[in-house]
Amino acid sequence: MNTPAPSTKRAIATSVLMFAAFMDLLDVTIVNVALPAIRSDLDASPAHLEWILGGYTLAFAVLLITGGRLGDIFGRQRVFVLGVAGFTLASLAACLSGNGDTLVAARVVQGAFAAMMVPQLLSTVQVMYAPKERANVFGIVGAVSGTAAVVGPLLGGWLITHDAFGVGWRSIFLINIPVGIVLIVLALRYVPNTVSERATRLDVPGFALATAGVFLLVFPLIEGREQGWPAWIWAMFAGAGVVLAAFVANQRRTERLTQSSLLPMHLFGNRGFAAGLVTQAACSAAMAGFALTLVIYVQSGLGFSAVHAGLVLLPFSLGAFIGVGISAPLGLKLGKVVLFAGAVLQAAGIWWLARIVSDQGAGFGAWDGTPPLLVAGIGLGMLVVPLIDIALSTVSTDDAGAASGTYSTFQQLGSALGIAIVGAVFFHVVGDSFTEAGLRDGFVAASWWAAGGYLLSAAATVFLPDRNAVQRHAREQAELLEAV
């Protein structure tokens, strides 16, 4: 059995892994505020802007479980270092991109390698820390995620507005290069190269079918408007249904024969867990699509600087921290009621902001958006933090790892679909001329769709496990920790 590393080495290893996860999350949030500058510099199309965000999350989602499996088989340190190296090189390629196509390609590669480095954090923590110590570590992971959400837009805005390195928007990718090099050096020295004690294998056919099915679904959503919705675009939608159905059949067969399926299909028979997947995917879709359209509107429509746009998003991030504080004491007492309230608050905040933008038009200021964004952020914190625990409350401990990987995959897929769907609505209304009025109408229309996503998330919470099931799960976990 693997034994924990000495405390100092273990702390450094954990810091390295967490900083890599922070870099991944930062790269998701930091790019939002750079989109108008990228559009202007590279003459990027609306589809390019959607792919720059969606391509990253799509590649990350499809490869996330496979990345974890690679670490289990070949060694987590080895796969982590490969992931950081690839992520760093892709950042360099993004920095050097001369047109929208090459930047999109670099972002897809970035997402693919991020899916190799990020899963190694949780799996390595499982090995390095005793069960009683893990709760504190996972709490820090949550804080890192929240910090990245706050820092990303502000750092991106500052780098672009002040042109810190003389390369404009490219600086948001340039900063990854020295950080990546340092992480590789430290990982080789301090991160243990652990492997899974249980035999596992890669599900190559499942991965291929999942990749093809998701691509056939997302590509026409993003490209359809620019292509004029020809017959082949609609054929891709039909093909997506066929391929995804084949994927489900393949996964059922693989799980029955080898127990190494990409997605553990038996988990979808668990109503509470399936409801958790829908709740998280709908929330992620609404949030990603809303953030994309808000940043483009305030910069391209209202003329806000990149750093000003980052400040517009700050109340949302701060509200999320407040929401976390609210959900912590109430989660176990009220269960899914807290999640329902959080999703409704998000929908209400987005609806409120859309009304303000519609009424004030070009006179909209950053402070005008503070109250509704604060409300939406509080709702986010109330929903996402207790959701994973409640969703997993009826999953057996044997399935905990597979369920967590599936949950993270649906979270990322939701983001990619949200960017595609809400972005398609936004750019359809905006059209080819980026006028303030057109961008305002596009943002309002997109906000209604985002609010609808949050309401879908609220509806799905009804099917989550009730408070008694959650409390029973908490008692079982406590008994397990005491036994260990």
Residues in Cβ contact with 441 at an 8 Å cutoff, skipping those fewer than 6 apart:
429, 430
C-alpha of 77 from chain center: 23
Residues contacting 89, CB < 8 A, separation 6+: none
Residue 7's pLDDT is: 74
8 Å CB contact between 221 and 421: yes
Q: What pLDDT, on a 0 to 100 scale, did the predictor assign at position 401?
A: 62
C-alpha angle 238-255-417 in degrees, rounded to nearest 5: 35
Helices (H), 5-45: 7-30, 35-42
Does pTM surpass 0.85?
no
pLDDT < 70 positions in the chain: 1-6, 131-132, 134-135, 138-139, 142-143, 146, 197-200, 331-332, 396-401, 469-484
- CA-CA distances (angstroms) from residue 305 to 152, 314, 358? 15, 14, 21
Write the pLDDT tens digit of every residue in 233-251: 999 999 999 999 999 999 8
Q: What is the pLDDT of residues 194-243, one digit of tens each?
A: 887 665 677 888 888 988 988 898 888 888 887 888 999 999 999 999 99
Specify the pLDDT at position 4.
Answer: 47
CB 440 within 8 A of CB 297: yes
Q: Give the pLDDT confidence score for residue 159 in this predicted structure.
A: 87
Please spell the DSSP secondary structure of 95-159, one letter per residue: HT--SHHHHHHHHHHHHHHHHHHTHHHHHHHHHHS-HHHHHHHHHHHHHHHHHHHHHHHHHHHHH
Contact present, 465 and 305 (Cβ < 8 Å): no
For residues 366 and 312, is the Cβ–Cβ distance under 8 A?
yes
Q: Which pLDDT score is estimated for 154? A: 83
